[in-house]
Structure formats: C-alpha cells, structure tokens
Structure 1
Amino acid sequence: MWKVLLVDDEIDIREGLTQLIDWEALGFTVAAKASNGKEALEALASQSLHLVIADISMPVMTGLELIKEMRARGLTQSVIILSAYNDFEYLKEALKYRVENYLLKPVDDDELTATLLQVKEDIRQDLAVSMQEKENLNILRSKILNRLVTRNISPSEFSNKADFLQIDLTAVSYRVILVELENVKDGFERTGEPAEHWKLFSAQNVCAEIMGGYADGIWFEDALQHLVFIAKQHVAGEPADYHAAADEIKAALKRFVKEPASVIIGPEVRGVREIHASYFEAMKLLDYKFYLGREATISERRIPSRAETIDVEIEGRIRELERFILAGDETSCLQVTHGIYDGFKEHAKIGKSLVHHATFEILMSALRLIREANGDVSQVLERPERLYEDILAHKTIDDMRGFLCGKLKAIMGYLAHLKNDRPPKVVMSVLDYMKRNYNKEISLKQAAETVFVNPGYLGKLFKKETGLSFHDYLNKIRIDKARELLLNTRHYVYQVSEMVGYKDYNYFHRTFKKWTGRAPSELK
C-alpha cells in the first residue's frame, strides 16, 4: 500500500476526501492528515509517506510554501494540488516544483482516481529505478572496499573513488569485524555456488541494526561471502564492547534469519592504510573456528594468552616435536611431551591458561602436519571443532598430558599410514591420467605435474610400482587399444596408429610387433 498524506485546513474537506473513493482498491491508504503545511512537514519527518494531496491555500503555511520547503529538504514525495480557483499563475508556480496534477474543488472522484492510478505507476517505476541504482551503488562500494581490505588499491585511487561512492572512513582508529554465516559457508564449500543474495542482504540488515547501537562504520560483503564491518572509532579511549555486539548479532541471526553465525573481531589499527592489517588478522583468527567450534566469537582476547617468559622455550619444543612426529620417532616425541609437562609442574606460578594454551598449540602444530600431507583431521579427532573444549574438560595436568600423548600417538600412526599409502595413490592417479590421454602427446613431466611431484621421483616410483617405465607403460596402453581397434573395427592400420597416439606409422608398426610378436596388418 502506498501511504497518503491529506493536507487541508478544512476538516470537512479532509474527511470528505477520505470517503470520496475506495483508496485500498487503488492500492493506497490514508496514513496521515494535517491542517496546514507546517503540520504536513512534521508528518513527513516522522513517517514514511509516498503521496501528498494538499490544498493550495491554507493558514500558517500554504500548499505552495509546503512544496517549496519539501523540495528544499530533498523530499521527493509525489504531490497533488487542490484549489478552489482555476488560477493559471498558481498552476505555473506549482509546476516548478514537480506536482502530479492540479485538481479543482470540489474534487471529481473520476479525475482523482485517474490521477492516483498514474501516480501509483510513477511511484512504482521511480522506486524500481531507485532500488536498482542503490543496488549498483552497493556493488561498487563492496568492490572498492574489498580492494581496500585486501590491499589491492592505491591510497589515491581509493580516495577518489570513496568520494564518488560516498564512503566516509574519517576516524581516529579502525577495527574489522567479520560475520561468517555457517550455512552459507558450508553451502559454498560443498557446491562452489554463492549463496542467494537475499539471505546475505537480510543478515546484513540485522547486523547493521544491532551494530548501530555500538559503533559507527560501514558494512559490505567480501569475496568469500563474509559480512564485513569496518568499525570507526572517532575519539581515543575505550572501544565499543564488540564482544557484547557479537553475542547480540549471533542470537538475532539465528532467531530472525535462521542462520547460525560466527563473529571474528580483528585488532584495532590506526589509519585507513592499515585497515587491511585488521582484516588479514581477522581472517587468521577465523582459522581458530575449526577448533573453537561453530557459532564462536573469536578475537585476540578469546585466544588464550601465553607467558612471554617461556614463549621461546615452548616454541622451540614444539618445533622439536614436529621433527620427531615427521620422523615417526614415537619414543622421542613422548619424551619431549613429558618433559614439557614436567617443566610446567616445576613452575607452580604458571597458570592453567598457559597449560591449556600449550596443549592447544602442540595439537594444532601436529594437526597442521596432517593437513600438509593432504590428510583428514577427522580421522584422528572425533570432534575436531570442539578440540579446545575437550582440552579444558581435563581437570588435572596429568590428565591433560595423557590426553595429549594419546592424540600424538594417533596422529603419528595416521601420518605413517598416509606415507605408506601415498605412492600407490600417486601411481594410480598417473595411470588414470595415461588411460584418459593415451591418444595425445603426453610425457612423464606432464604426468608429474598432475600429481605435484618431481618427474625424476615419479619415474622411479612408477617403475617400482608397475615394473615398467612410464614410456613402456604408455606403449603398452596404446598397443592394447590398437589391438582392440584392429580386431573390432574396419579402420585402416594407419588410422588406428593415429587414433592411439602414434604420429609415425613406421614407429607404430615396430612397436606393435615388439609387444605382440605380430604385424598390425595380420590382425585385419
């Protein structure tokens, strides 16, 4: 329904217009009434209205004065003028300020109906154009802001385009907040297709409404379908309570958009040129969601802090553990682990949070080795997304050490399995590549590129697993296919030669006889 404001100093006229036609049947509703132009301006300021029907002559503020003031304020509502006099000068003056029609009193219902129908169509078209323009502007703004946070735009280019796109980043400091919709993320990873735009649009509106109560800033959508908020702090001092805002956002998205979400709070930075640093750090923090769980609020504050006095020692021991894990040396790995925990026991001043963090870091390091070997973390952790919760569930340092040692043993066993199983998988992938491309000019180097290994290593591995060199096995595949074609089709021998990948007929003839003991023509 399009909302109408009736403005006339005579109450009988206002009520008469209300009853004159069936407004709802035409798609309108009389939402407000005023007795003069001043009251009309107050109504326009307090609610969303689409059409103003105003008398030309009223006390306090006339209809013409009302229209002039509306346009001066940038109000674009459609206007229909009413007058008891057919005055051309009034009409000429009114037309300067874009009015839809000039109707004489008493108003003819047919003329008013025809005008309203035309106004409705004009409003609809104007709204469609306005929405498209706004959508195009939002797309352009998102693209430029994406380039800003990924450091793909020069300061001068951003400054020029920000002015044009009405992007105001004037502030003392900045902070990037990421909102990741869990279902959108899962869907994108599963299908590779972006989410329906309406879902992200609805979620952004909810986020903007909540965050508006905490901080000023700009929302946009990044290339990975995260909702991104660049928070602006205008005065130095305590920042907004972004953790409270994150909790509100998650609850509202789950309730109103039916979307569970995680919120990642990047660090504070100074200067527009440093906004990308907050964004990149937020993206790094996002990795912790795998361990901290879905619907998490992640920030530097929520990641357990470490005691700097023994940071170097812990980091060094973790690197040592990595070497033993990769070498498959379980005894040394467990000795180092016990040594770390014995050290914790000797330093009673070390709080539980440091022990929790060290356990977490050791497991994250070991799990990274699985990912680097193209393994599946879920093979060693029943609930990977709740790793940190599982660590906290152990109430004593000895229980935690036992938990860690058990996981490290499982990780080492799984890595050994991957290592033993990898050569056959590599060779099987190469064999599949050869069977699909035997009729083309392919080489060992090309095959090695498909499995991301060195050609020399692949050549030795291939010979070890198949008993044949890459070149001989390719000839075997081609000759087997050629024999099949010669026996079951009417193709000439020279045609079969080309069909199986041999450009030189004489070489094909010699190779065929070498592998089968017969000339190709003998099979025809």
Structure 2
Amino acid sequence: MGGIMREIAILIVEDNISSRQGLARSLAEAGMGIDHVYTAKNGVEALAYLQSLPIDLVITDIRMPEMDGLELLKSCRAAGYLTEFMIVSGFDDFEYAQTAIRYGVKAYFLKPVPLSELKAEIKKMMELWQQAEKGEKLKTTSQYQARELFLQKIIKGDILPEQMAEHCQKFDLPVSGQYLVGVLDCLFFHEDSYNQTPLRQAIIDFFNRHWPVARYFLFQTGSKQFVLLLCLNGQNPGKTADGCRQLCQDLNQHCGHRIYIGVGPIVTDLSDIILSYQAAGRAVSYLLFEPSEKLIWAEDLPAENILPTATQTEVPQMIYQAILNHRPEQIKAQLRLLFDSFREDQHPPHFVRGMCTYIIISVQTELEKLWRERSLAWEEPFSYDVINNLWTISEIHKLLEGLFLSYSNYLQKSHTIIDPIIKKSLFYIKNHLNSPLHISQVANYVHLSPGYFSVYFKNKLNQNFKEYVTQLKIEEAKRLMAAGDLNMEEIAMAVGYDQYRSFHRTFKKETGISPTEYQKRGSQE
C-alpha cells in the first residue's frame, strides 16, 4: 500500500495462543504496509494496548476469559476510542452479529476465516484510511492525540476545575482516588530515530503480568520524556513502591538501554497531579550523576535552594590564571576538585549546569578583554547552551576541560605567532632545554638587557622566565619518561639538570609526585 504516510498498527485479540500467533505472523509477513502487529489474550490486555498506543484496527474473537470481544468493543466505544473493529468468531449467532454491527464493526467472520478474505477486508480499510488522510480526517489518530493533549494539560495544570470532570469522563480518567506520576528518561528517547514501540509494549506487558489492578496512562511530553500517570485506588504505599521498583527493573532488563524513572509523591486531588509531575521531573533530572539506582524518589532528593561555596566562586579566576600561565595540570586539577564536590554533595542538576555556565562566561569575559588588548582574534567561539544538551556530569566535565585547555593552547600559540622577540626567545629556549638556561643567555640572543627582557617576557606571556622554562623542562621530561628509552638520570641530563637530586626536587614541586612515581602511574594506565 503506497501513499499512507503514517504507521499502521493492528491488534489481534484471541485466547488461543496458536491462532493468535499464527494470524499475527501472517499479517506481519503479508507485505501490506502494516507496521505493527500486537497481540493480546483477552479484552483486559487489549484495553491496556488501546490506552497506551494508537491502534488502527482490532481483530478480536468473541468468547474469551475475563473480558470477551463484545465487552471489549462496548468498553472502547464508551471510552471514546474510534478504533476500527473486525470480529472473527466460531459462533454463527445472529445476536452477536447484530450487536457487533450496532457498535460499528467493519467485518464479521466465522472461523475458520480464509486469510485471503481477511487480507482483502484489511486492504479496503487501508484504502479508506488513505483517502481519509488526504482529507485530514484520521479519527483514530486525532482521538489518540486528543487524549495525549488532555494528559499533557493535566500535568501542567491547564485544565479548568469546572471542565475537569467532563474531560476525565471522556478519557476514562478516575475523578477521585490517589494519583502518582513517574517520569521516564533515557538518552535514546531524545533521538529522532528512537522506536518507542518496544518500550510501550514492555510497559503494557508489565502491568498485565505484575500490576493488573493499576489504572495507568502513558504518554510523551514535548521534551521527549515519557510520563506514567498511575491511578492507585487506595493501594498500599508499600506495594506501590514495590511495583515501581519492579517496573524500573523490568524496563532496564528488556529494553536494552539505561532508563531512569523519577517518582513524585502520591496526591489525592486531580489538581495536584501537577505537583507530583514536577517532583518526578526534578527526581529524574538526577540521572546527570549516572546513579546505579535507576529509580529516583523525589522524597529522597537534597535541598533545592543552595548557594555556591566560597571555593566554587573562586574557580573562574583560578582557571583564568592557569590559562594565562599555560598550566594544563592546574586547569585539570581545579575542574577535578569542582566536579568532585558536585558529585559528593549531589548538588541539584540545575545548580551544576548553572555553575558551569557561570564559570564559562566568567572565563570567556576575561579572555575576551585580554584578546582585545593584544589585538588577537577570538578564534574559539563557544556557546555555553551546549551544557544543557549534555546528558551526564562526566560529559560536562570533559567539555569544560577541553574548552579551557584549548584556550590555554591558543593563548600560548598566539605569543609565538605575533611577537618576533618572543618568537625568537621561545625558539632559543626550546632548542636549549638540555642546558641550565639562564635568562642572560636568552636576553643576549635577542639583543636585550637581562632586566628589560625579564619584564618584557613577563608582560607578554603573563609568566616569568623561570616558571616558563621549568614548566617546559618538566613537560619534556614527562615525554621522555613515556618514551621509555632513557633512565631517570639520563632524563634529568636531557632537560638540563646536572644533578638528579635537583631534577627530583623540581619535578615533585611542580607535579606533586616524584619522577619515579609519575613514571609508575603512567605505566599502569
């Protein structure tokens, strides 16, 4: 069937497993353009599908345990579902047929129905859907969308109190009782290509097997999260908690990717569903910390209103100075301490993102001033909005570290490119790292007095001569250690230290560990 742009979904309701699976397989492999074929063993399971998925056609048996085909049909019409129905029955009963026709059944087949006839009827219906689609009259889809819109308004508090009862009756939401909201989130939910059918089916299967008494609604928000609205009807809170834990465990086992669920408090008024939803949304946002426990209870969250510590507010200036002095290890160390504090104290995710945004803006502001003073082009544009699109705290940490290291590298390169004296000086230093290197040697090389050159060098590089040379020697020593061709005394000689003891002392002062310990750590990584 070419031309039908939307996906077509059919639900087969049959208590006989071989008949159910055989018909499902035949339709799935028929090449008719049917995208999804679901199965249910009775009317109760079928209703769960209809409440959670946009089903175009139900093909149902009549006589089944718990809820038969006609009861299913009546329930659907009472709830306002406009899904099309076909009945396949083993009973040639005029009353059954008459009732089915009265409720708008499109076809009534007696078993065993020839598959060719059933396919022909389905083909006719698909052609009608195609015509309806051209006129934008897809009743099934519009009904499903209307229910989704209603549920989204409920969680946002956008339904007027005087309209609440009417809407609830139309969409089969209990007007009294207990309500609980869970918000499901996963990295894959936010991908345009994500196939949500396995998730929806896993949730339907879970409630059918483990929590049949629960009334629930599943829908997706504009932010691609899924919302699960539970109507509990006075169920024991302990059993509710157990059910939530079991659901989270089942979804993570069967869906093949990490799914986090934030759970809000139980509320007893429809107008308070928004409070449960907001709390659940805050809870699921803690997936930022990649917790091992995928179920996050709103009642367990730390306080929301916190202020940055004095140490945290000093981070931008510390990083800025490390960038100016081209101290990559200091940049890494400052960020490591910052993110360790975030993890240890479990700061609210919005605070973490806000703090990181503040740090980036502060550092960029200072660097832009410096760039203008030195007539440098701002070649490292970055939008801090990216932080809001990152999934985990590890990704944010990695982003900031890479960004600030790139600023440091760019600043260092700019000196050598623009200033001829500095360029010549750095060339000399680089080629004489194997000697003690006194400032008078370099000053003489660029034809300046040692005193003037010292001030000139510090003004241009924001770092004095001795610090710069020491840092360069230590970086070269690290490179030689990684290469593994020289022993420690040879490395010390290669970077201009006549005595290993002097090299050892300087290395430990700069890095915090001895050369031997550094080399040992490197070999273990």
TM-score with structure 1 setting the length: 0.42
TM-score with structure 2 setting the length: 0.42
State which structure, 1 or 2, has the greater radius of gyration over its C-alpha atoms: 1
